[in-house]
């Protein structure tokens, strides 16, 4: 997978032509892994959504009559490189805003830089809760997000699990990384808000390929619904292990399973068994369908469409704030983001998406369920999902 992603990234990177930049142009930066890990697939999708938004802004006359230029950097999936790319964008390129990254760990490594230098950032992919809360008590927080926050994903998955399980026998199976352990904490706390205690909580190593031991314990506990908290390769191994022991309970997972790695490892038919959280899918509306078609021109193997849509909307919100502030000054743009008027996006029409108290532009009420079908990701709705009410989405 890594080799394939790297080869794809080389093709993408080679397609980036040099852009003539003039002193009056407004620069917006994009930084994400686009070559070095499984997350690169998400970063590449986000990159093309970012470019599509800039193209649309310029077609509509730019910002304050000025052309917008996107400056793209590949952070190669590592914190040191990610820090370097952000420093380059701010100090050398003089960007007026940043969209990125894909990896939460990279974001957490460099958040202090734009915060200190007063450059607004909209994160379109990374989901770690702390990204937008670390500087929440400062006089101005410069970190915003249009993505799926971990706990809010679990809020939707938990609501579905409680309604889907006949006897409220729900189990949690997560990888042993910080990501997975955070998921156990969130899922356990959210189920408790529903008055449900998991019948089993099991862990697996991120490199494990056989989870039958953990699954036999979960099966023995009587679980008819399992929430998996891990990235695509681990979740695929879980489903393969389920198949080995002829145990296929209702199975729920997070949006990381949108990666093409999941169906490649689990197999096309088995991958359809997993129900995932998503912020949008290509088949949601005419707007999402159109953006998907545009992104596929540059990224034919796109499966992580929400990353493209979230990056597109991130740029649109930054641009709207600059227009509202009539300025590219970071303090003024951030103040405008905190009190932004209606802005058309691909995912939705945003109306005051941020405030001083919250820099999350999407919440659980915006999220959907999705699943793999015929090699692509489609929106999923059944009678259980349709029965979920706002009061069921506990956080």
Instruction: Please say whether the beta carbons of 67 and 26 come within 8 A.
Output: yes
Shared domain check, 265 and 239: yes
Backbone φ and ψ of 324, nearest 5°:
-65, -40
Q: CA-to-CA distance for 89 and 83, rounded, in angstroms?
A: 10
Shared domain check, 224 and 131: no
Shared domain check, 259 and 320: no
Which runs of consecutive H residues, i.e. helices, occur in 326-357?
330-337
CATH number at residue 311: 3.40.50.2300
Shared domain check, 329 and 372: no
For residues 147-168, average pLDDT: 92
pLDDT mean across residues, the chain: 90
Shared domain check, 343 and 304: yes
Shared domain check, 128 and 54: yes
Predicted confidence at residue 3, as pLDDT, reads: 41
Percent of the chain with pLDDT over 70: 94
Shared domain check, 341 and 235: no
Predicted confidence at residue 22, as pLDDT, reads: 67
Q: Is the pLDDT of residue 345 over 60?
A: yes
Shared domain check, 383 and 268: yes
Domains of the chain: total:
2
DSSP letters for 105-130 = HHHHHHTHHHHHHT--EEESS---TH
Q: Model's pTM, two decimal places?
A: 0.83
Predicted confidence at residue 9, as pLDDT, reads: 41
For residue 6, what are the domain limits? 2-148+284-362
Shared domain check, 241 and 100: no
pLDDT band at 281 (very low <50, low <70, confident <90, very high): confident
Q: Is the pLDDT of residue 96 over 90?
A: yes
Q: Can you point out the beta strands (E) in 250-290?
A: 250-253, 274-278
pLDDT band at 67 (very low <50, low <70, confident <90, very high): very high
Shared domain check, 308 and 214: no
CB neighbour list of residue 220: distance below 8 Å, 6 or more residues apart: none
Predicted confidence at residue 1, as pLDDT, reads: 42
Predicted confidence at residue 129, as pLDDT, reads: 80
Shared domain check, 125 and 45: yes
Predicted confidence at residue 200, as pLDDT, reads: 98
Shared domain check, 159 and 252: yes
pLDDT by residue (tens digit) across 1-29? 444 444 344 344 434 444 566 668 999 99
Q: CA-to-CA distance for 146 and 378, rounded, in angstroms?
A: 20
Q: Is the pLDDT of residue 304 over 90?
A: no
CB atoms inside a 10 Å sphere around CB 381: 11
pLDDT by residue (tens digit) across 133-142? 999 999 999 9
């Amino acid at each position: 997978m890594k080799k394939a992603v790297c080869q794809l990234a080389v093709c993408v990177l080679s397609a980036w032509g040099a852009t003539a930049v003039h002193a009056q142009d407004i620069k917006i930066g994009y930084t994400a892994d686009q070559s070095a890990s499984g997350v690169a697939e998400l970063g590449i999708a986000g990159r093309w959504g970012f470019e599509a938004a800039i193209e649309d802004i310029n077609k509509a006359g730019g910002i304050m009559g000025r052309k917008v230029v996107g400056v793209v950097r590949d952070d190669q999936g590592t914190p040191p490189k990610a820090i370097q790319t952000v420093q380059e964008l701010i100090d050398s390129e003089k960007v007026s805003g940043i969209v990125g990254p894909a990896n939460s760990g990279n974001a957490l490594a460099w958040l202090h830089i734009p915060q200190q230098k007063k450059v607004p950032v909209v994160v379109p992919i990374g989901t770690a809760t702390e990204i937008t809360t670390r500087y929440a008590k400062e006089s101005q927080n410069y970190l915003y997000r249009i993505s799926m926050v971990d706990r809010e994903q679990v809020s939707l998955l938990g609501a579905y699990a409680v309604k889907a399980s006949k006897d409220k026998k729900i189990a949690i199976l997560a990888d042993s990384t910080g990501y997975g352990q955070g998921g156990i904490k969130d899922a356990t706390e959210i189920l408790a808000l529903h008055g449900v205690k998991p019948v089993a909580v099991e862990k697996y190593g991120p490199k494990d390929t056989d989870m039958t031991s953990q699954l036999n314990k979960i099966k023995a506990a009587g679980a008819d619904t399992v929430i998996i908290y891990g990235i695509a390769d681990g979740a695929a191994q879980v489903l393969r292990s389920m198949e080995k022991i002829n145990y296929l309970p209702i199975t729920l997972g997070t949006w990381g399973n949108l990666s093409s790695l999941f169906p490649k490892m689990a197999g096309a038919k088995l991958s359809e068994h997993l129900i995932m959280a998503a912020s949008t899918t290509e088949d949601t509306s005419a707007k999402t369908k159109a953006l998907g078609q545009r992104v596929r021109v540059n990224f034919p193997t796109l499966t992580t469409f929400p990353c493209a849509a979230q990056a597109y909307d991130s740029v649109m919100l930054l641009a709207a704030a600059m227009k509202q502030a009539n300025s590219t000054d970071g303090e003024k743009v951030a103040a405008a983001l905190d009190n932004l008027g209606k802005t058309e996006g691909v995912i939705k029409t945003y109306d005051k998406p941020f405030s001083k108290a919250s820099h999350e532009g999407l919440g659980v009420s915006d999220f959907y369920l999705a699943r793999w079908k015929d090699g692509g990701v489609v929106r999923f709705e059944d009678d259980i999902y349709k029965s979920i009410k706002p009061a069921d989405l506990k956080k």
